[in-house]
Amino acid sequence: MNFAPPSTVLFDLDGTLADTVPLIVATFKRTVSELLGWEPTFDQCKEWIGRSLNETFTRLAPGRADELTAHYLEWNLAQHHAYVRPFDGVAELIDALHAAERPFGVVTSKRHDSALLSLECVGLTGRVPLLATEEDTTAHKPSPEPLLHALRRVGADPADAVYVGDAVVDMQAAQAAGMRSVGVTWGAASVEELTAIEPTAVVHDVAELQTLLGL
């Protein structure tokens, strides 16, 4: 594949830089079961990964989004250190980006406090120069606005930037923003789900991603 290294790299967080999917699924199941009285399947839980909590719970139970979100966050934040793990190679990838002096950051649908806690759990506190979270924009993935907001903060051109993520909404947001998109297969979406949305590239481990980015 002819993939010129981008000048700016943006990452999703959940399922991309941090292994948070087991925690998200456990918290989502617990919240829906306790407050709505039914237990979602694993696949149903994964469908919401990458979207904001407010959007997720507004669709599931209109009028109860605030209640569901508060219930979700209380347990989720308390369980971060028990569940969240780093992916092999991510720390080295971040080191390589710093060494290359290439602008990079994280754009996530998580709330700011949750994102900081996830970064702490995988040893990335203070090592990500740009963090854009749910509070920064009114529209969220698959809208391009969070990505465009992050690019404006670093003065980057979408055409020379890439977004790396594990969910279909990540690929859709990147495409809508005019960015290249790289799907990673170690997170929420399957290879088939990612390739169906036709990202610029799909990678299967962090070493492959680092090579693709020219690091």
Active site residues: 12
- On the question of a cis peptide bond just before residue 142, with omega within 30 degrees of 0, the verdict is yes
Query: What's the rounded Cα separation, in Å, for the pair 11 and 33?
Result: 31
Dihedral angle at the C-alpha atoms of 33, 37, 41, 47, nearest 10 degrees?
-80
Q: Where are the beta strands (DSSP E) in the chain?
A: 8-11, 18-19, 85-86, 104-107, 131-132, 161-165, 180-184, 201-203
Which residue type sits at 175?
Answer: Q
The two three-digit tokens of residue 164, written as one number: 């790396």
Query: What's the rounded Cα separation, in Å, for the pair 1 and 151?
Result: 25
Residue whose C-alpha is closest to residue 185's, from 162, 206, 212, 213: 206
